[in-house]
Structure 1
Amino acid sequence: MALRELSKEERDTARQKALAARLERASVKEEFGAGRLSFEDVLSRAETSEAVARLRTVELLEALPGVGKVTAAKTLESLGISESRRIGGLGIKQRAALGEHLRHG
């Protein structure tokens, strides 16, 4: 099935929506990395914001000081969480395990 051609206005609207989502995700990562947002705060934002819910868990961990791609990947692997998992897709046990890990390092 071919997608229909979008009008200029529809493309502009979609572009603005995508930009707003990227800015919101960047803001959440920056605040989380700086310690102004807790993991629980991020989870509660994900409940009301599709943009935050679509943030990859590995990207959130990489926002922390001293945590790079390798450390974030190892952390998720040790907790049994896929690297491709998004914040909004975390299960109850995954949320609890990650929250516990972040609280006690």
Structure 2
Amino acid sequence: MVLKSLSDEDRAQARAKALRSRTRRAEIKESFRTGNISIGEVLDLAATDEAVGRLRVADLLEAVPGVGHVRAAALMERLGISANRRVRGLGRKQQAALKDHFS
């Protein structure tokens, strides 16, 4: 597949958008880690905020103190969530399972 050639201005806009998205995802993970927002609020934000919707579930879980890569993977397996699933891609049962786990 051939990618279209981007002008310098388009490339700069894309870099700026990517930076805003990464910053937003970092803010959400930090807020979740400190308890300022709940898992339910993150899931609600994912429906409207593209950056939050593209956040990987594993990255969100690893933001919790005491949860690393291994515990996050074990929790996701127990809840029936694929290892590469993003927050927006979660089904209703998976969202309910996450809410139950964190409540």
Matches within 5 A, 1:5-84: 5-84=5-84
2-structure distance, mates of 1:57, 1:91: 12
* 1:36 counterpart letter in structure 2: N
* 1:69 counterpart letter in structure 2: H
* 1:46 counterpart letter in structure 2: A
- Shift in Å, 1:91: 0.1
Stretches of 4+ moved more than 3 A in 1? none
Consecutive unaligned residues in structure 2, runs of 5 or more: none
- Shift in Å, 1:98: 1.1
- Shift in Å, 1:3: 1.5
Partner SS state of residue 18, structure 1: helix
* TM-score, length-scaled by structure 2: 0.97
* TM-score, length-scaled by structure 1: 0.96
2-structure distance, mates of 1:78, 1:24: 28
- Shift in Å, 1:47: 1.1
RMSD across aligned C-alpha pairs, in angstroms?
0.7
Q: How many residues align?
A: 103
Work out whether 1:92 is the aligned partner of 2:92: yes
2-structure distance, mates of 1:81, 1:2: 33
2-structure distance, mates of 1:41, 1:85: 18
